[in-house]
Amino acid sequence: MQPADFFEPSSAASIGPLEGIRVVGVTKVWSGPLATCVLADLGADVIDVELPDGRDGMVPPNIPGSRLSWFRESVHRNKRSIGLDLRATRDRDTFLRLVATADVVVENYKPGTLDAWGVGYAECRKAKSDVIFVSVSGWGQYGPNTAMAAYDPVIQAASGWMSLNGEPDGEPVRAPTFLADEVAGLHAAIGALAALAHRARSGEGQRIDVSMMDTMLFSSSGLPTLAASGSPPARAGNETNFAVPCNVYACNDGHVYLAIALNKHWRRLAELMGRGELGRAAGYRSTEERLANRDTINHLVGQWCAARSTAECVGLLSAAGLVVAAVRSLAQAVADPHVSARGMLTNVRLSDGSVAPLVSPPVKFSRTPTRVRHPAPVPGADTHEVLAELDGPAG
């Protein structure tokens, strides 16, 4: 299929399926901004409430050739920014006027912070009775740990996720990305969409409580069930406890990851390695037998890969219908022609005039396509525009 076959011509004017929905974000760092980024990418009018001289998200390093941080530019694109200090009475009142025009409010401050400023759910609900109010926090709005501070790696540690990451005989290792923040942000966006659907049926707004801890447990592939049942999983490194061979193997110029989950795929691999007799031999013919014979099989596959380049391994294995990929650097991944064909990087002119390749929205819509429409604004850049809208006929 070509892109033209997927995207319908009549969709050209759309900015996304959430066009016409207004979201007000009182967010910082990554989880909350990611949630509103997802909604903005989907076409919502997202207005970030930031300190007038704020520098939230200005995390180093800057994008090469720019004065702007990769962090802010990645997660604040497609939004507008209004400069308000919610601790000040006048700005608090302006914020509540803004909420009165909104469908969704998203915040990720420590529980109770917005209430203390007079702009929490109760006040926002007075301003807009059917408002959807999404709160993202480390531990949630209730429970013994609610008052505790949280950052992404702390939740990775507390959720048990970090204990499972790394080599079996090594130390726990954090994810190289903001995994807990990402997962919580995505669930916050999903929650907002579900609440919008409920409001469309019932006319009711509601409050949504998203805990980073909860979402990390949910996103742990069901393993918490094993742990709670008295059979906690062990750290497996690059392998799994349900398939062999399933591992990283060294080639003569790099590495590949090969995953053999089906018996018929093992037979194909055995033929390819010149050891066809092992396809149905005792100790090899079933997944259970291969799991018990892991070291021998890893040695056989490792020898075969070591004599070949990554390109040769991937070519031969893929041609045989097996599941394999070269272990690439991120730079190699983003240079992949497939990534280009999928439009996953968009060259965007940033607010300082520089151009940077930002990651594009991942979900493709045939009638309401999404895109990076504009870069992250300078904090407070849209204050006058937003205030004019509030003061105008529609305000």
Active-site positions? 181
Structure tokens at 61: 């390093």
Q: How do beta strands 132-137 and 345-349 pair? A: unpaired
328 vs 330: CA distance, rounded Å: 6
Question: From the centroid of its chain, how far is CA 151?
Answer: 16
Q: How do beta strands 104-107 and 22-26 pair? A: parallel
Task: Tell which residue, 101, 116, 117, has the closest CA to residue 46.
Answer: 101
